[in-house]
Structure 1
């Protein structure tokens, strides 16, 4: 509902006001929550959106047909999307791909898309019998940076979430945790083995050590699950904001009205950030007329860039409230 930061801009505040107006009771309840989850996992959200959109006559899904290239045709009148099986022509393309993937599809024609590295993470879920208890009651823990004086018992451990504490289930009393391993410290825990070659059993054994060393739990889990997430977390290197600003202008010059960018590579890696930034992008595309009259080029990259929104942030709270109500 707020992304990773407070609703500092007018547009973010406007989104919050509209959400509250549409269902005040729900909003007031959810606003107090620090964690939001779904019984069947976060996939519930996109799955329900997918099921809804399938019922819309003006929506077509193309799946299992990888995109091979994105180019412009007829002096930027249309975008051409070539896939392994077909070609599509579009008045506008919204890319939510990782920036380094998009970079290959557009033949490296935009700057900085492959500048930031992305971390590999092994995500391991353990479930224990009800009698196995956590010694702590809380969200979980994150480990200190590897360069701090505090030594980590199992190097390469990013943190552990206490799932059964965070989102308890009345019907299931199992103790459940999620361990995150690797990231920028991948070599500390998995050596020189790349994620594509990693045996999931290595991640399981490492997690057993994490549970033993950090939480004094030596019991064998009743259930376990390993997900090896390749290049899943972009690392924004110093100067990222300035590079995004340059990318915005390069995208506007190269693709004009044909391309907008959103997703974890640009202005926030969290799920709430991706939802917030994508919604702001779509609202701006619709409200600015960029999809019809093409009065404004919308790249999706300057929603949160301070150089472009300083004036709006400087507005007093009173003026902002007047604008929102209007």
Structure 2
């Protein structure tokens, strides 16, 4: 090279790991899209989400108004028939989708946020703190979810808001146990130790180095728990401990027609099918996410 010439700027070589990382980021999405059941579940959940948002505006009738004679079978005027008070079942299902989906989502948030925090603290701190929190989690897990929700409802009283709280409390130990087990493994990895060595504060390590790498099982559990929360909430409403009349909640609608099931089957059947479709869709999406995000399953594929 001659004197006075300007050398070109040196560029760092692109390693194989860097080139392989870019497609790997979308690999889970490709695997998910290959699962026809998971795609069907996502489409079904998306449709129900749109219905929940647009429910009051697309419902053909007022869900609270007595429009016709009671127990009218499905017809051109009333697609899914009328209930015991002459209200349109189809309109009540559309509007009730807001309540049921909100119940599932809010219950998961109420149970997931404290559960994740408890599991993160227990797994990362260890020692006596881990022992104490683990015993509390074990005690809550010893009670079935529906029984724990019934205890909370008995203390707070029957209402849809209290159902959300009770279902959230019932799901909290599931998140705590899952996150704790993930944190116990992640905190021993070399990059976490490197973060400690360079002087990162504990809270930063817990959030940005440990918790962000435990998102996959939490996401799968949250998807499954939305359907489970809707199922438990509908069951409580069916027993008269959740939503109260005249609220168009699916579980309560199913309960209203149980005494005339042999003569007016549509009153309970169609709300029950709505519950079934959402719960099945959540399970399909959760199974698809688990297959796509689990490294062991990706290696098998």
Scaled to the shorter chain, the TM-score interval is under 0.3
If each structure's helix is expressed as a fraction of its own residues, which one has the higher value? 2
TM-score by length of 1: 0.23
The normalised TM-score by structure 2 is: 0.24
Higher strand share: 1
Which protein has the larger Cα radius of gyration, Structure 1 or Structure 2? Answer: 2
